[in-house]
Amino acid sequence: MKNMKNSLRIAALVLLGWAFFAVANADQNTVRQAMAKSMPSVKIDSIKPSVINGLYEVTVGTNIIYVSDNGKYILQGHLIDVEARRDLTEEMLGAARIQAIEKIGQDNMIVFKPKTSKYKVFVFTDIDCGYCQKLHSEIDRYLAEGITIQYLFFPRAGKGSDSYNKAVSVWCSKDRNAALTSAKKGNVPPPKTCDNPVDEHMQLGAEFDVKGTPMIVTEKGNIYPGYLPAQQLSEALASEKAQK
């Protein structure tokens, strides 16, 4: 008799689980269909329930929006766990940023590595940007702190500008690291063309809403806009690494 009751309880839990799954899927489909109708050009990467009942978290590239389960309402902004003092949206955005960067791959970046790497950052840079030049002039200090610098190009003047052409020429140089260092000192690189990732870097920067350069992105996808001295950046990265 006892075994029969246990079996009935298990069966009930299974049925409840399937019912919840079916409802959740139905709501997700409603959200997807509503967005496809109202914003047909938007490519949805994922839809999942948020921590708030009736509200779904929708990932579009490196952006996150919140949609009601009937698809009628959209919220844009950051969801904060007040008790835990956590920005839940920023955490999800960080993960999305890293996923997008990983699609480009380290082979499509210009990388300066220390002998022993403790941290890695991605830096959107403009060859003609003053603070970008300052950051790179101190590259040895970053390497001494064990920070690997992985550069992506973001010429703020846009495609076809002098800064853009310099970025392409640097990428197409035989020694990219040396060419970048020379260009950051104000030397104009010999004009060169080849297959290059500069447009892809710029597109990613636009998705990240880069307002200025340098813009530093950490391994967790957190953003530090502007120049940070090596020691200050190292302290920030150590703090980030210590966090759960």
Catalytic annotation, pick one of 27, 69, 156, 172: 156
Identify the active-site residue in 69, 126, 128, 172. 126
Asked about 209 being catalytic, the answer comes back as no
> Among the options 129, 172, 195, 199, which is catalytic?
129
Q: Which helix (H) or strand (E) holds 4?
A: helix 2-38
**Known catalytic residue: 156?**
yes
Quick one: CA dihedral 184, 187, 189, 191, positive or negative? Answer: positive
- To the query of whether residue 9 is one of the catalytic residues in this protein, the response is no
Query: Left, alpha or beta for 218 (phi > 0: left; psi -120 to 50: alpha)?
Result: beta
Q: Cis before residue 190, ω within 30 degrees of 0?
A: no
Structure tokens at 107: 């082979």
Residue 132 appears among annotated catalytic residues = yes
Helix (H, G, I), strand (E, B) or coil at 119: strand
What is the H or E stretch that residue 134 is in? helix 130-137
What CA dihedral angle connects 36, 38, 41 and 42, to 10 degrees? Answer: -70
Q: Residue 188: which residues within 8 A CB-CB, separation 6 or more?
A: 166
Catalytically annotated residue among 97, 128, 132, 172: 132
For the annotated catalytic residues, the residue numbers are: 126, 129, 132, 156
